[in-house]
Amino acid sequence: MLAAFTWTEFAQQLAAGIREGAIYAGLALAIVIIYRSTRVINFAQGEMATFTTFIAWSLMNHGLSFWTAFPIVLAVAFAGGVAIERIVIHPVANASVVTIVIVTLGLALLLNGLTSVIWGGESRQFKGPFSTRTIDVGGVPISVQDIGIVVVSIGLVALLALFFRYTKLGLALRAAAVNPESSRLVGIRVGWMLALGWGIAAVLGAVAGMMIAPVVFLDPNMMQTILLYAFAAAVLGGLDSPVGAVVGGILLGVTITMLGRYVGFIGSTLKLPAALVLIFVLLLVRPGGLFGRVAERRV
């Protein structure tokens, strides 16, 4: 079952796994932010990211450089996220879990269709900010792009962690998610906190999309498999832990890549089901994921 083994290849696979994981982590982070601040699982996270990445592509197509388009896309993403929460999610905020899930699914469908309708379904190249040349790290060729992706993911997490822990707004966001009633009593405008959460998540998704697109080519369905891996990573790390999302992502990326390469049975076709099984088993044993806290419900 185990294929021929060399250390160089192992290191390469490890690097690839980390890069894959960083990609999942970016989107997983967005999922966790929304879950943390609104207790909603956003099935449209991937499609929102894809949509904003296409906007970036259009801007760059019109002559803007990546770094000029970048802040514009982030601003659009933020506004979009806030608008979506206020218009589509807020009305059903108190409805059953089933209703909310269906609404975000509908949103995903809508955005996916819209992306196809506006930009067409063909894949296209997306020129990212990092060069694709490889550098030699201890005998192992690693691409600058991969390093860039990992650095950006970790940087984002750090920024977010700082934001949530040390700023007043971050605290207010957390409070609104944990106890909306008491939050109002201390003067927090809970509705706008929820919208802010979605705005931030949309921005995270936009960044994730712009990191991923140079690697996988840009098309309307780009994020679908990645979304699933991102969910898995988020669940693995604990749905309300941003650090967990990144750790979970990288752990998942490495594990899946290794399994895919070294366990012949899994190969490349069963990577996704393997991820699923892993997460499923983990959830049975540890419902809160690695870093999450689970409210026990005794019946």
Partner 1 sequence: MSFLELRNVEARYGSVRALHGISLQVGDGELVAVLGANGAGKTTTLRAISGTVRRSGDVVFAGQKLSRRPEATARAGIAHVPEGRGTFGELSVWDNLRLGAHTRRDNLKQEAKRVFEFFPQLESRRDQQGGTLSGGEQQMLALGRAMMARPKLLLLDEPSLGLAPIVVTVIFEALERMKTDDGMSVLVVEQNAGLALEHAARAYVLEVGKVAVEGTSDELRANETVRRSYLGY
Partner 2 sequence: MRLRLWLELAGFAVLAVVVAAVPRFVSDFRARELAIVGMYFIALLGLSILTGHSGQISLGHGAFMAIGGYTTAVLSVNGVYGHQIRDLWTIPIAGVIAGVAGLLVGLPALRLSGLYLALITFGIAVSFPQLPKKFDHFLGGTTGKILALPRPPFGLSTTTNNWMYYLTWGIALVLLLAAWSLVRGKTGRALKAIRDSEVAAASSGVSLAKYKTLAFGISAFYAGVAGSLYAIANAYVNPDVFPIILSVYLVVGLAVGGLDSLITLIAGAGLIYFLQNHADTVARWLNHLPALNLDPKQPGIPSLVFGAVLIVVMLLLPGGAGGLLRRLFGSLTGRR
Binding site for partner 2 (CB under 8 A): 41, 43, 88, 91-92, 95-99, 101-103, 105-117, 120-121, 220, 224-225, 228, 231-232, 235, 239, 267, 269-270, 272-273, 275-276, 279-280, 283-284, 287, 297, 299
- Smallest separation (angstroms) from partner 1 to the CB of 42: 21
Of 143, 137, 176, nearest in space to 33 by CA = 176
How far is the C-alpha of 42 from the C-alpha of 292, rounded, in Å?
Answer: 18
Identify what 103 binds: partner 1, partner 2, none; CB under 5 to 8 Å per kind.
partner 2
Q: What are phi and psi of 135, to 5 degrees?
A: -120, 160
Enter the tokens of residue 220. Answer: 């309307």
How far is the C-alpha of 55 from the C-alpha of 45, rounded, in Å?
Answer: 16
Tell me: does residue 185 bind partner 1 (CB under 8 A): yes
Tell me: does residue 171 bind partner 1 (CB under 8 A): yes
- Pick between residue 44 and residue 188 the one whose CB is nearest to partner 1: 188
> Residue from 124, 127, 189, 286 that binds partner 1 (CB under 8 A)?
189
Total Cβ atoms within 10 A of residue 236: 28
How far is the C-alpha of 243 from the C-alpha of 247, rounded, in Å?
Answer: 6
CB-count burial class (<10 Å; 0-12, 13-18, 19+) for 246: buried
SS3 content of the chain, % helix, strand, coil (to 5): 70, 5, 25
Are 12 and 140 spatial neighbours (Cβ–Cβ below 8 Å)?
Answer: yes
How far is the C-alpha of 60 from the C-alpha of 236, rounded, in Å?
Answer: 36
Identify what 264 binds: partner 1, partner 2, none; CB under 5 to 8 Å per kind.
none
How far is the C-alpha of 193 from the C-alpha of 174, rounded, in Å?
Answer: 9
Tell me: does residue 115 bind partner 1 (CB under 8 A): no
How far is the C-alpha of 55 from the C-alpha of 182, rounded, in Å?
Answer: 39
> Residue from 124, 127, 286, 293 that binds partner 1 (CB under 8 A)?
293
How far is the C-alpha of 32 from the C-alpha of 52, rounded, in Å?
Answer: 19
- Smallest separation (angstroms) from partner 2 to the CB of 280: 6
> Residue from 16, 73, 149, 188 that binds partner 1 (CB under 8 A)?
188
- Pick between residue 168 and residue 298 the one whose CB is nearest to partner 1: 168
- Pick between residue 98 and residue 185 the one whose CB is nearest to partner 2: 98
- Smallest separation (angstroms) from partner 2 to the CB of 27: 14
Tell me: does residue 178 bind partner 1 (CB under 8 A): yes
Interacting stretch for partner 1, rule CB under 8 A, among 48-56, 122-130, 187-195, 267-275?
187-195
According to DSSP, the residues that pair with 134 across neighbouring strands are 143
- Pick between residue 146 and residue 219 the one whose CB is nearest to partner 2: 219
- Pick between residue 6 and residue 96 the one whose CB is nearest to partner 2: 96
Total Cβ atoms within 10 A of residue 171: 14
- Smallest separation (angstroms) from partner 2 to the CB of 257: 16
- Smallest separation (angstroms) from partner 1 to the CB of 188: 6
> Residue from 1, 4, 186, 299 that binds partner 1 (CB under 8 A)?
186
Using CB under 8 A, list all residues that contact partner 1. Answer: 168, 171-172, 174-175, 178-179, 181-190, 293
